[in-house]
Amino acid sequence: MDCLGGRSWRYDGVCGNADAFNFGGCCLCPNRGGIHSSDAIGGSVGAARTSRRSDPFVGSGFSGGQSGESGFGKRGRSSRHWANSSRARYPRSQAGCPRKAKTDAQAAAARLERVKSTQNSDVAAQKAAVGRAESEERGVMAQAETIARLEVQREDARTQYDRFLKLSRDGAISASNLDEKRLAMATLEAQLKEAQATLVRLQESAEAQVQEANANLDRTQAVNPTDVQVAAAELASANAAVTQAQAELEVTYIRSPISATVLKVHVRPGEVIGQKGIAELGQTDQMNVVAQVYKTDINKVRVGQGRS
């Protein structure tokens, strides 16, 4: 909350039907949503809110007040000093806790990353399997062309062998010439059989690659784009919850216009604010001490004297 003037702060009982605070003449009514000035001391003030009466108090520092009435009660013995601290929190509930909301957001982000990672991994595996299948298919086609060429060559070699066999029977050629044609035909037949066996192996490998590609496709389809959208929506919702929790937490702060010392805290978590207010505040560098000295001892007191 903001209240100008740097005066002492004090919890001042009830304003209407709601708890109220009086800040040097500024009456804060939490349930009415703003500050109402009761005199000119408070100066210009803006709208502010505070927590409900039943909310617990968690002290993280107050500031404000001067000597005399030092804020939210009378001046007392200094119990803790928070220099340059200017807020105290009234957390509403665990549901609005930014820490929990941030944890939920981190979990949602992790889920989204897992879904994306699974999808990207499956897509990469599918592309690799498709690439291997395409390579095997090209190998099968090339081997089929090789077999076709060898079959043509074998038929040509058989034709020549048959012709040379007839000439050999007529005595037109020597036996060695016939043997050359027989060897050429046998060599081509062996090459053809080997090429056919290679083709069978390539076909089996290509079929295995196709099956792997289909399996990867099934896994990729299992990670539906809708899953990514759902995970992204969950992350957006979690981030919105973080923003909402931070906004709700922000309106539970009680702020001071100046830095000061917390002299005493009157309210603890779970307690109801009483007549003493929330806490006693004071600027210790400006505080005065009123001491009573006997007439017989007055000659023992002098300006600048230290305490004993």
Look at residue 306 and tell me if it is in a domain: no
Tens digits of residue pLDDT in 2-52: 333 333 333 333 333 333 333 333 333 333 333 333 332 333 233 233 333
Q: Give pLDDT, residue 102.
A: 74
Look at residue 175 and tell me if it is in a domain: yes
Q: Give pLDDT, residue 186.
A: 92
| Residues 107, 178 within the same domain | yes
Helix %, strand %, coil % for the chain, to 5?
55, 15, 35
Look at residue 29 and tell me if it is in a domain: yes
| Residues 42, 80 within the same domain | yes
Q: Give pLDDT, residue 241.
A: 80
Give the mean pLDDT of the chain. 67
| Residues 107, 227 within the same domain | yes
Q: Give pLDDT, residue 151.
A: 92
| Residues 188, 205 within the same domain | yes
**CB neighbours of residue 198 within 10 Å:** 15
Of all residues in the chain, the percent with pLDDT exceeding 90 is 11
**CB neighbours of residue 156 within 10 Å:** 13
| Residues 59, 144 within the same domain | no
| Residues 146, 65 within the same domain | no
| Residues 266, 217 within the same domain | no
Confidence of residue 66 (pLDDT cuts 50, 70, 90): very low
**CB neighbours of residue 250 within 10 Å:** 12
Q: What φ, ψ does residue 73 adopt, rounded to 5°?
A: 135, -175
Beta-carbon contacts of 245 under 8 Å, excluding residues fewer than 6 positions away, are: 96, 97, 98, 100, 101
Rounded CA-CA distance 66/260 in Å is 9
| Residues 121, 176 within the same domain | yes
Q: Is 291 helix (H, G, I), strand (E, B) or coil?
A: coil
**Full domain range(s) for residue 153:** 99-243
The domain boundary residue, chosen from 197, 224, 243: 243
| Residues 30, 149 within the same domain | no
Look at residue 20 and tell me if it is in a domain: yes
Look at residue 308 and tell me if it is in a domain: no
The domain boundary residue, chosen from 243, 264, 287: 243
CB pairs under 8 A, 24+ apart, for 291-296?
A: none
| Residues 106, 136 within the same domain | yes
**Residue bearing the bigger pLDDT, 88 or 105:** 105
Q: How far is CA 107 from CA 100, 127, 231, in A?
A: 11, 30, 10
| Residues 261, 206 within the same domain | no
Rounded CA-CA distance 177/189 in Å is 19
Look at residue 120 and tell me if it is in a domain: yes
Rounded mean pLDDT, 157-162: 91
Rounded CA-CA distance 24/271 in Å is 25
Q: Give pLDDT, residue 236.
A: 82
Rounded CA-CA distance 3/35 in Å is 9
Look at residue 2 and tell me if it is in a domain: no
pTM beyond 0.85:
no
| Residues 130, 217 within the same domain | yes
Domain with residue 142: its CATH number is 1.10.287.620
The domain boundary residue, chosen from 194, 217, 243: 243
- Structure tokens that stand for 80 in this block: 């803790």
Q: Determine the distance from the C-alpha atom of residue 54 to the mean position of all C-alpha atoms in its chain, rounded to a whole number.
A: 33
Q: How many domains does the chain have?
A: 2
Q: Give pLDDT, residue 207.
A: 82
Confidence of residue 219 (pLDDT cuts 50, 70, 90): low
Tens digits of residue pLDDT in 240-250: 888 887 777 77
Confidence of residue 183 (pLDDT cuts 50, 70, 90): very high
- Mean pLDDT highest for which of 69-78, 82-91, 124-133, 296-305? 296-305
Look at residue 135 and tell me if it is in a domain: yes
